[in-house]
Amino acid sequence: MNKFWAYLRNHYSQIYKGFLLLVSLVVIVSFFPKEATYKYEFAKGRPWMHDDLIAPFDFAILKPSEEVAAEKAAMLANKVLYFDFNIDLAEQKRNEFIEDFDLLWIAKYGNDPNLGNFKQHTLSRGLKILSTILTRGVLQPVPETENKPPDYEITLITKNTAEKVKLSELYTIHSAYEDINSLLIKLDNVDKDILKQLLEDSILQNVFFNENVTKIEQQKQLDQISLTYGMVQNGERIISKGEVITKSKFQILESMRADYEDKSGTQTNYLLILAGQVLLVSISLTVLIFFLHFFRKDILADNKKVLLILLIITMMVFVTSLALKFGFQYIYLVPLCLSPMIIRVFFDTRLALYVYIITIINIGFLVPNSFQFVFMQLISGIITIFTIVNLQKRSQFIFSAFIIFLSYSAIYTGLTLIQEGNITGIKPLNYAMFGGSALLLLFAYPVIFILEKIFGLVTDVTMMELSDTNSPLLRELSMKAPGTFQHSLQVANLSEECIFAIGGDALLTRTGALYHDIGKMDQPMFFIENQVTGVNPHDEVTFEESASIIIGHVIKGVEKARKNKLPEQIIDFIRTHHGTRKVEYFFVMEKKENPDEIVDEKRFTYPGPIPFSKETSVVMMADSVEAASRSLKIIDEQTINDLVENIISKQVETGQFINSNITLRDISQTKKILKKKLMNIYHIRIEYPE
């Protein structure tokens, strides 16, 4: 049991990486559709590159979705509207008309028997007009009949009997009133005022829109739209090798693909498909690990960085699978170029391209026409990397987004022209999707910021911001310890030149060098570069106390850096720039003052750690050499050469670089650059006359 726990403890990093890979594998495969992938790749307008294709089974030739949608739209535009004609309202209104007529007549004429014929004639004429209008029908106005021509036909349902009538054959309230006025003008020997009042009050709508029946009949018509052109019989030749894939052939091939995928849903097929997907995704992730092992061992050794890379791949696959659920065209909205952008910002261009290739290969299993998809995304991803090779400003994201939009649009246009042979196949909606994808890339800024905080990584943009000498901490350093600030600037310049020559992160090195001595701000006068008054506070304390103050600037620097939330990568320069060396001057003076005592070396030794990268090693060398050069009384090529050789050789002898990946060749090159730069700094000017 103890051996088991010891094994876990000793191999924790490898086990953790294996766990990350397993989780990534499971998650990615879970996003894949569980139907068989059609083994033939084809595109409209291109030759059929496979052997002659014979139909392996009967299948229907599906109509293109655009054609079906067009037929449905045409049917809906010309759908039949159903109205109910309530003929019983005419009889009801007739009785009400007679009752109201008697009341109005008595109110106007009383019961004069001499007007009996006049009254009867007026009543009969009014009833005739009322019957004419109501039996013809007064239409209820609805949005469905707005802007329809007079000859537009509707279906009128009268007591379970349906007939086609034109809109012009029915009254509206307005046309009924007009007809009443025109008919009354032609009448003689009637009381027109009473009739007009009664008729206008009696006219009402009796033809009502039947929305329920309309929808039922409309659905019947939609169901009758054929989704197929016909059938392809088993054994029938579909296409020959080398034959150009026309529009009709393309639709037959697409129909066969759809039928094939539908028939591959059995339990046995499901398990085999799942096994194949697991195998392919495992291979792609294994290749990624091999790449990191052979070319970027530093990243593979860092579990956080491995987690970040796998997280980005998994998230891109997830977002694409989610978009496909809403429709194929929505995959163009997915900002896949966010992947190389993020990887490039945190790492380098080579890794960004490799991770992106792995990502789109895995996504290629999800999407139809995978060749076109991979081609479009690969070219756009490469262009994305080109636009952010030297990322120094966040505004470059806007330029990248614009270039990516142009890339997507140009590639899509070219592929469509090849397939269709005309511009009618180009869908403007896809350009809108490309624009949306480009806009979503602008979220790279907040995403990168969040990832920086979560994974403790730092980008070049952040380094540029931190290396600004007007940043709060450096500004404070220049005010409280101006000598130290000038020393830090010189160390930054020297370190940047050296690391650039031997290969390393120049921006990280420069930024780390600027902050390496911020711990001196608390007691600046104890450091000689800040002593401008001629007073040395070390004269008032013991050598051991002086050493403690000098050594303490490292610890105070780390504390101040963390308080100001500097990245750990910068804090590493503060911790390591003195390594585990001694404060030689005070150590020697302590031994001279107390020759009979054993001096505790630990009290005169920096706590470390020693440098563990090229960048931190170069800053140690530049810091020591620059500080020591200020004490030279005679400055010439020989003294500078001896100074650099002695200091750096002593650092090598004391094992300050054994944990770093810096080589002897790098150290030799660094020495040469330091000597050259110091000679330039301390060059002798001619003496100008007074």
Most confident of 212-221, 291-300, 661-670: 661-670
Residue among 337, 436, 327 at smallest CA distance from 386: 337
Mean pLDDT of all residues in 112-135: 83
Read off the pLDDT of each residue in 233-244 and give the average, rounded to a whole number: 77
Average pLDDT over residues 190-219: 85
Mean pLDDT value of segment 417-438: 80
Number of domains in the chain: 3
438 and 464, same domain (yes or no) = no
| 401 within some domain | yes
**Alpha-carbon distance values, 318 to 31, 32, 254, 352, 451 (Å):** 6, 9, 26, 19, 18
Q: Which CATH number is 553's domain given?
A: 1.10.3210
Same domain, 376 and 415: yes
For 420, the domain range is 10-27+31-35+267-455
The last residue of one of the domains, among 191, 221, 251, is 221
pTM, to two decimals: 0.62
**Residue 370 pLDDT:** 76
Q: Are residues 504 and 361 in the same domain?
A: no
Tell me what pLDDT residue 495 has: 93
Residue 287: what pLDDT?
Answer: 92
Identify whether residues 152 and 14 lie together within a single domain.
no
Q: Has residue 41 been placed in a domain?
A: no
Mean pLDDT of 153-159: 86
Residue 493 lies in a domain: yes
Domain end (from 153, 186, 221): 221
Q: How much is the average pLDDT of 391-396?
A: 65
The reply to whether 361 and 505 lie within a common domain is no
> pLDDT tens digit string along 557-584?
999 999 998 988 899 999 999 888 888 7
Backbone angles phi, psi at 228, to 5 degrees: -130, 160
Kind of pairing, strands 153-158 and 161-166?
A: antiparallel
Most confident stretch, 295-304, 392-401, 522-531, 616-625 = 616-625
Do residues 94 and 204 both lie within one domain? yes
Tokens representing 202?
């009696």
Residue bearing the bigger pLDDT, 501 or 53:
501
Residue 353 has pLDDT above 50, yes or no: yes
Residue 416: predicted pLDDT:
81
- Per-residue model confidence (pLDDT) at position 414: 86
Q: Read off the pLDDT band of 620 (50, 70, 90).
A: very high
> Averaging pLDDT over each range in 83-92, 237-246, 364-373, which range is the top one?
83-92
Amino acid 496: pLDDT: 93
Residue 267 in this model has a pLDDT that exceeds 60? no
577 falls within a domain: yes
Q: How large a percentage of the chain has pLDDT more than 90?
A: 18
Q: Which helix (H) or strand (E) holds 60?
A: strand 59-62
Please enumerate in sequence order all residues whose Cβ is within 8 A of that of 156, keeping only pairs 6 or more positions apart, or say none.
Answer: 83, 85, 137, 162, 163, 164, 165, 207
Residue 686 has pLDDT above 50, yes or no: no
Which pLDDT value is given to residue 446?
Answer: 84
Based on the domain organization, do 530 and 613 belong to the same domain? yes
Using an 8 Å Cβ cutoff, are 459 and 354 in contact? no
Any idea what DSSP says for residue 527? S
Contacts of 609 (CB under 8 A, 6+ apart): 575, 576, 579, 580, 659
Last residue of a domain, one of 455, 483, 499: 455
Of 280, 289, 332, give the one whose Cα is nearest residue 32.
280
Could you tell me if 302 and 159 lie in one domain?
Answer: no
* Residue 645 and residue 496 in one domain: yes
Residue 83, both tokens: 């109205």
Whether 249 is in a domain gets the answer no
431 and 515 part of one domain: no
Average pLDDT over the chain reads: 83
Burial readout 572-586 (b: 16 or more C-beta within 10 A, e: otherwise):
bbbbbbbbebbbeeb
Instruction: Mark whether 602 and 654 lie in a shared domain.
Output: yes
CB of 418 closer than 8 Å to CB of 410: no
Identify the residue with better confidence: 189 or 22. Answer: 22
Q: Does pLDDT of 309 surpass 90? A: yes
Q: What is the pLDDT of residues 25-77, one digit of tens each?
A: 899 888 887 665 566 666 676 777 777 777 777 778 777 777 778 878 877 77
Taking only Cα atoms into account, the Rg of the chain, rounded to an integer number of angstroms, comes to 44
Q: Which of 228-232, 263-267, 331-335 has the lowest mean pLDDT?
A: 263-267
| Among 125-129, 572-576, 584-588, the least confident range | 584-588
DSSP annotation string for 110-128: TT-GGGHHHHHHHHHHHHH
Residue 1 within a domain: no
Rounded to whole angstroms, the Cα distance separating 48 from 461 reads: 49
Inform me whether the pLDDT recorded for 266 exceeds 60: no
Residue 440 and residue 482 in one domain: no
- Dihedral of alpha carbons 525, 531, 532, 535, sign: positive
Our measurement of the distance from residue 685's CA atom to the centroid of its chain's CA atoms, rounded to an integer in Å, reads: 58
pLDDT digits (tens, 9 = 90+) for 476-497: 999 999 998 999 999 999 999 9
Q: In this structure, is residue 365 part of a structural domain?
A: yes
529 falls within a domain: yes
